[in-house]
Structure 1
Amino acid sequence: MRGKRRIAIWAGVAGLALLAGAGPAGASSDYSCDPVWALSDSGFSCGNRALLAPGNDTRVNLFLLRRTAPVGKAIAYAKPTWEERGFGHSFFGWHTLRDTYAGRSGAEEAASEDQPLNSRCNSAASGQTAFEAALAAAKGIPEGERTALRGARATLAEKCSEISDHADAALDMAWRGQVSSASGREFAGYLDAATAFYVGQWDKARDGFAALAGARDLWVAEAAAYMALRVELNAAQAASFDEYGDFTGPEKVDKPALQRARAAITTYLKRYPKGRYADSARGLDRRALWLSGDLAGLGREYERLLQALPPDSPELATLIQEIDNKLILQKNAEAAVDSPMLLAVIDLMRMRQFDGEEQPPLSAAALTAQKGRFAARPDLYTYLQAAHAFYIAKDNTKAAALLPDRAQQPASVPLAFSARMLRGMAQAGSNGEMGYWQALIGAASDPYQRPLAELALALAWQKAGRFEAVFDANSPVRDDRIRELLLMRLASADLLRRFAIDPASSPHPRQIALFTLLHKDLTQGHYADFGRDRALVPADAGNELSIWDFGTGDTVPVGVFTKGKWSGELACAALDATAGQLAQNPANVRARLCLGEFWRLNGFDRFTTLDPVEANGTLASGPGRFAGAVLTRSAIYAAIIANRQAAADERSYALYRAIRCYAPAGISDCGGEEVPIAQRKAWFDQLKREYPNSQWARSLRVYW
């Protein structure tokens, strides 16, 4: 019974891949970037939030809106993509959200039949199994004929991509003379028509499949009826795609062929309402609606399917991908759709704001005019009003007033959670803010909801000057990435040291704390502390530093401080010895040069991940608590160049290195303020003039 119900509910879904496409939609955000670590941003974000928001991918907003009940079960987070490794669980990409709830859908990953030339060949290979099964079951076909037919079908699948672009192409038809039985001739006729279809000979294919309408073999008759509608649909769209495969618009569609396609779909479904290709036929009917430009009809069909499909099914995710491609992003879609859910997604997208954007965001008047279209969903309309007040009008008082406190209601349904999040955002800075977020953290249960509420609390504590509360033993903030960002940029030496040895914390943020502690011990002059803190590095710690994705890998290279490189062109003692010398005398010229060598040789150039950033309201912005000014390689070299008491080999090396900071692009890799090219020339001339016989003067032939 359950299986039959699933079949009935999912009618029309097998053809979703024909429309969905595998590439990202115009609203997609699946590319490498850093999310804005705040509760909102004004434009389109690469990191989605579990909050219905303008900055989300439209697919994400639609997925969230479809969920009208709590999950009701524990769901594990899907593994993030490479680009999302730094998102924590406060942010996510569309595909990660899909995989978390529904798993990966093979249909969504399938190639789309939107491309007019070679896409027909997708089914040439996939249809091989059905053909062979039907051929094996057919009676009255001699074995020799079966072999010839089977081989001919395999050749069609193999050669399809070679012939599909050429209407005058033909396959070797020698096998045709080997088939003489009545049943065998039906399969042969099917192969003739199928070959014409894949080559793009529409008239021949149309006649061939029509001749098989009364075939005695049931599979041949049904498959021919199904292929008849595909012939008309492909003929209709053949001239509507440009050389790059982009749809050029309904005006280029062959309207008579499209009408025949819809009639053929109706005929097939009437004759085979539960046929093996019925789901695909319904999917192709949506294709016909799209090709005709009937966005209203397409929207109604999408609304029906959205309500019919289970919210955690891969099929729903595939449908959402299709809706995004074929409806949400279409021009004037908001005027055509009747579905409050689809209209809400479009409205949120229209609330995005970009610098220099020619298209103004959704106006209050336009939203007011839509009120009647949300008659069945006043809760959703109210949320849109509040979102407009918050994001567009910047009227927090109005936004909060539209969203009364519903703390006693379940928060896990995305719309309810979004309303409570938006209310809290609108009331930021109020006396009860911390308590509000703590209550929401306790109420959130769906994946990605709690981490977002945790981010809200962490931001509130940070604004109040109490970010250390995140690390209290009873803190409700558990997301490791939130903690790591605060450790990297704001934490004091004491907090880093305490957290690095805390057995109750996860290994990765502990490694982040230890790396940050050791790095800042050196860059901010805590040399004696470095000697003690270095003992915390595990013997098996890795030491390969990549500054471009620091902190997002499975391990953190804290071993660079015990097993890194410290002696290159300049002979240097081990790093711990250098730190010891600096602890005794921070002005030790040789030791300072060797500290610079350690940074240079181990890839720390342009490593700014741990540097404080300007206070802008985002997580971990503002002045840090680690005492001491940051020492850069450029500052080391400048001080030694100015020190006439420095030894000749040390001063000449400082000149050499100060100049090479700008190789090869004329941009400094050594940190600090860049110096003009005139200064680099002056250093070059000084090196050549004062130390002409040094190896550094002899080896340096240009400046940058």
Structure 2
Amino acid sequence: MRRIAWLAGTLLGALALPQAAGASGDFGCDPAWRLFNREFNRCSNTALLSPGNDTRVNLLFLVRDRQAAPATRFAYPGENLAEPGLGHNFFSWRMLRGAFYPQAEAEDPEAPYGSRCISLASGTKAFTAAMQANRGLPAGERDKLAAARGTVAKTCGEASAGSLVAPADIASAPGREYLGYLQAADAFYAEQWDAARDGFTRLRASKDSWLAETAAYMVARTELNAAQNAAFDEYGSFDAGKVDKAAVGRARGGFTDYLKRYAQGRYAASASGLVRRTLWLGGDAVGLAREYERLLAATSPTTAAAADLVQEVDNKLLTNEGGRAIDGPLLLATVDLMMMREPYDNGPQPIALAQIVAQEKSFAGRADLYGYVLASHAFYVEKNPAKVLQLLPDDARQPAYAPLAFSRQVLRGMALAAKADRNEAGFWRELLGGANGPYQRPIVELALAMNLERSGRLADVFAPMSPIGETAIREILLQNVAGADLLRSQARDAKRPVHERDLALFTLLHKQLAYGNYAGFVSDSAMLGASASNEGGLWDLLVQDRVPAGLFRKATWSDGYACPALSATAATLTQDPRDVKARLCLGDFYRLNGFDDFGVFADDAMRPKRDELGGTPTLFAGKPTPRGDFYAQIIADPKAGGEDKAYALFRAINCYAPSGSNACGNADVPESQRRTWFQRLKKDHGASPWAQKLRYYW
């Protein structure tokens, strides 16, 4: 049996939109923490309508723009719809759907979604109920027919000839009609289209209202399945050239006729959707685009049906080859934004301004949306923030904003930032007052935080009356930029979440060691509570459930070279920062607990870029010292003891094991230098366990 996939395939050639890379779907998930969003990433979506958003996200926000602006701040759904490290600034399509429609029922994972058999279970219930309502049908025949209906399920499961086991002694007129329906249904599920069509056609004149209506619907549905039967292979791949266009025409006529006769009928919603399918299969891109635009304006944005429709539009029109057929404002705006994305290699160039100007009539009555599309092009493609300010007047003092009005103001704020306007921070503070909608306030908080960071007012982000409460924003700044005093105060702020306080303390202690403020470490490590965790390792503190601040109190101190607890090592270094054994032990702490490529020792690629939140230089004074520098200093120190110098040589060489790349954070040395170290270790310290243990240099 072929799996007839409603969500598979490509739109036929009447559409001609160059496909932008990653137009929609689910790829990587590592958003850049900034407002500028021109490259698609499945988790980089924001409440700002932008080129980098998933097309489904932009379109759903435009559909929901018909709602009144929210008077109160949006309440986010449970953590099951959150992804660590994104805060409420960024989200995936799945997260947005869950936020808007948390009560929507999940799909049945066992349902044969996308195939004609999807209707088998509901059809069985309707068939049984209809027989119950027909008073002319004897009870005995009804029971036999109900049992026979159960055998039809095997046809869907086995995908061969019909599996119906038909009772032989059905004598009443209603019984024979219901038996005829079963035979037609069995033929339908067995892909025997001619038999199914004939059987359902005979029942359209039945006096039983359910049979007559259902048969009319099923005639058209049979034609539709016949039309697409050869176009899908067993894996769901679609070949438009194999569609039976004549059958498509008959199916469209059948559904249209059904909707005329049964405008409020049992299958009216399904028939309307299948009319769209005939438009798609028939290559009528203009008709399909116009029908989608009509439905987008008519579907209630408060129901999950709006998200379902957006998903269908995305699959059937936006991300395949749709473009010139679209002439409605919602779809045009969505496609235009997608076509403003950063071009990839030999991919299509961004949409030209002249193309947008030519669409002005299609935006009739939607000057606000047309103006936003023009302003987006000016900002992302033309790189002309002054033009954005001309197109989008200041309106940042409203009590609430619908999605488009909010996006207009955020884009204006971005233009102010691009021009380094001295009023930028004030603009964001004013906009915060009305940013009540889903994911709106966090994006304004991000904008304000970046302004304060770059203007040297980082402390304002964390001031007691600061409007910036989004933990993810604060943690990025604490981890990457904050100085010791700010980290210390935030670690003590009992009003903030535990994770944020623990991150501040961890970062403070890590940087005090790395920057050589050993006295500060000894003093501030007293803040480590009894519950401080040392589990989870060091991979990304922003997304880990617990921050392992307990590592500074209880961890692995040594694995051969004798070392005391870190507190004792730090106390020794407080008295003498050049103490050889203490430096070797601090190096072992880094090595054994995963600090070599973490935090201040991480590669520059691991840190925020200059145009991202946290991308300014750290406010910690000085320069961090990686353990590789300790080894180099001790190797060059004539006063270092023999065992200590042997261990320093051993560790310096092992910095390059086994890849030949330095894992100890300091500048690389050539292989010839490592060979010299190796020879020196073997010659001068041959009796040491370190010389005996080392066989190679890398």
Determine helix, strand or coil for the equivalent of 2:56: helix
**Is 1:237 matched with 2:236?**
no
Partner of 1:470: 461
Partner of 1:130: 126
Partner of 1:11: none
Determine helix, strand or coil for the equivalent of 2:323: helix
- Kindly report which structure 2 residues correspond to 1:8-27, keeping only aligned pairs within 5 A, or say none: 19=6, 26-27=22-23
Change (3 A) 1:651 1:131: farther
Normalised by the size of structure 2, how large is the TM-score? 0.88
The separation in 2 between residues aligned to 1:272 and 1:339, in whole angstroms, is 29
Partner of 1:253: 243
Of 318, 325, 333, which residue of structure 2 is paired with 1:336?
A: 325
Partner of 2:394: 405
Q: Which moves more between the two structures, 260-269 or 74-83?
A: 74-83
Partner of 1:308: 298
The separation in 2 between residues aligned to 1:653 and 1:229, in whole angstroms, is 83
Partner of 1:324: 314
**After superposition, what is the alpha-carbon deviation per residue over 1:660-681, rounded to whole angstroms, capped at 9, x for unaligned?**
4444444444333444455445
Change (3 A) 1:207 1:408: same
Partner of 2:94: 95
Partner of 1:657: 651
Partner of 2:14: none
**Is 1:351 matched with 2:340?**
yes
**Is 1:51 matched with 2:41?**
no
Of 620, 643, 646, which residue of structure 1 is paired with 2:614?
A: 620
Partner of 1:576: 567
**After superposition, what is the alpha-carbon deviation per residue over 1:601-650, rounded to whole angstroms, capped at 9, x for unaligned?**
32334223786847622211121011232122332333334445434443
The separation in 2 between residues aligned to 1:572 and 1:658, in whole angstroms, is 18
Partner of 1:377: 366
- Kindly report which structure 2 residues correspond to 1:176-191, keeping only aligned pairs within 5 A, or say none: 176-177=167-168, 183-191=174-182
**After superposition, what is the alpha-carbon deviation per residue over 1:230-281, rounded to whole angstroms, capped at 9, x for unaligned?**
22112211222356423333x4311011011112212322333222222111
**Is 1:536 matched with 2:527?**
yes
CA contact (8 A) 1:43 1:54 kept: yes
Amino acid corresponding to residue 320 of structure 2 in structure 1: Q
CA contact (8 A) 2:8 2:236 kept: no
CA contact (8 A) 2:151 2:165 kept: no
CA contact (8 A) 2:534 2:550 kept: yes
- Kindly report which structure 2 residues correspond to 1:386-397, keeping only aligned pairs within 5 A, or say none: 386-397=375-386
The separation in 2 between residues aligned to 1:253 and 1:37, in whole angstroms, is 46
CA contact (8 A) 1:18 1:283 kept: no
Amino acid corresponding to residue 524 of structure 1 in structure 2: Y
Change (3 A) 1:446 1:317: same
The separation in 2 between residues aligned to 1:123 and 1:29, in whole angstroms, is 27
Amino acid corresponding to residue 624 of structure 1 in structure 2: T
The separation in 1 between residues aligned to 2:278 and 2:294, in whole angstroms, is 17
- Kindly report which structure 2 residues correspond to 1:378-457, keeping only aligned pairs within 5 A, or say none: 378-409=367-398, 411-428=400-417, 429-457=420-448
Give the C-alpha shift of residue 146 in structure 1. 5.4
Of 646, 666, 690, which residue of structure 2 is paired with 1:672?
A: 666
Q: Which moves more between the two structures, 43-52 or 425-434?
A: 43-52
- Kindly report which structure 2 residues correspond to 1:154-233, keeping only aligned pairs within 5 A, or say none: 154-157=150-153, 160-161=156-157, 163-164=158-159, 168-171=160-163, 173-174=164-165, 176-177=167-168, 183-215=174-206, 217-233=208-224
The separation in 1 between residues aligned to 2:112 and 2:324, in whole angstroms, is 27
**After superposition, what is the alpha-carbon deviation per residue over 1:498-554, rounded to whole angstroms, capped at 9, x for unaligned?**
111012323221121111111112222122222222221221222113433322233
CA contact (8 A) 2:479 2:507 kept: yes
Normalised by the size of structure 1, how large is the TM-score? 0.88
CA contact (8 A) 1:440 1:453 kept: yes
**After superposition, what is the alpha-carbon deviation per residue over 1:269-324, rounded to whole angstroms, capped at 9, x for unaligned?**
23332222221111111111111222221222222222222223211111111111
The separation in 2 between residues aligned to 1:377 and 1:653, in whole angstroms, is 74
Amino acid corresponding to residue 427 of structure 1 in structure 2: L
Q: Which moves more between the two structures, 467-476 or 344-353?
A: 467-476
Change (3 A) 1:599 1:260: same
The separation in 2 between residues aligned to 1:287 and 1:92, in whole angstroms, is 30
**Is 1:561 matched with 2:561?**
no
Task: Report how many aligned residue pairs link the two structures.
Answer: 676
Change (3 A) 1:159 1:244: closer
**After superposition, what is the alpha-carbon deviation per residue over 1:667-698, rounded to whole angstroms, capped at 9, x for unaligned?**
44433344445544554454445444544444
Q: Which moves more between the two structures, 535-544 or 78-87?
A: 78-87
Partner of 2:16: none
**After superposition, what is the alpha-carbon deviation per residue over 1:18-70, rounded to whole angstroms, capped at 9, x for unaligned?**
85689xx9533644432112220332244112112111111111122221330
The separation in 2 between residues aligned to 1:445 and 1:217, in whole angstroms, is 54
Determine helix, strand or coil for the equivalent of 1:488: helix
Partner of 2:33: 37
**Is 1:28 matched with 2:27?**
no
Change (3 A) 1:423 1:174: closer
Amino acid corresponding to residue 471 of structure 2 in structure 1: D
- Kindly report which structure 2 residues correspond to 1:77-88, keeping only aligned pairs within 5 A, or say none: 77-79=76-78, 84-88=83-87
Change (3 A) 1:290 1:681: farther
The separation in 1 between residues aligned to 2:662 and 2:108, in whole angstroms, is 44
Partner of 1:367: 356
Gaps of 5+ in 1: 1-16
Change (3 A) 1:190 1:640: farther
- Kindly report which structure 2 residues correspond to 1:264-303, keeping only aligned pairs within 5 A, or say none: 264-303=254-293
**After superposition, what is the alpha-carbon deviation per residue over 1:200-243, rounded to whole angstroms, capped at 9, x for unaligned?**
22222222322333445543443333332222112211222356
Amino acid corresponding to residue 273 of structure 1 in structure 2: A
Determine helix, strand or coil for the equivalent of 2:433: helix
Give the C-alpha shift of residue 385 in structure 1. 1.3
Change (3 A) 1:482 1:214: same
Amino acid corresponding to residue 258 of structure 1 in structure 2: V
Amino acid corresponding to residue 302 of structure 1 in structure 2: Y
Amino acid corresponding to residue 351 of structure 2 in structure 1: L
CA contact (8 A) 1:125 1:158 kept: no
CA contact (8 A) 1:632 1:672 kept: yes
Amino acid corresponding to residue 70 of structure 2 in structure 1: V
Amino acid corresponding to residue 103 of structure 1 in structure 2: P
The separation in 2 between residues aligned to 1:584 and 1:532, in whole angstroms, is 14
Amino acid corresponding to residue 78 of structure 1 in structure 2: P
Give the C-alpha shift of residue 359 in structure 1. 0.8
Q: Which moves more between the two structures, 364-373 or 669-678?
A: 669-678
**Is 1:526 matched with 2:517?**
yes
Of 55, 60, 78, which residue of structure 2 is paired with 1:63?
A: 60
RMSD: 3.1
The separation in 2 between residues aligned to 1:601 and 1:181, in whole angstroms, is 85
The separation in 2 between residues aligned to 1:582 and 1:322, in whole angstroms, is 65
The separation in 2 between residues aligned to 1:607 and 1:270, in whole angstroms, is 67
- Kindly report which structure 2 residues correspond to 1:566-605, keeping only aligned pairs within 5 A, or say none: 566-605=557-596
Partner of 1:634: 628
CA contact (8 A) 2:73 2:435 kept: no
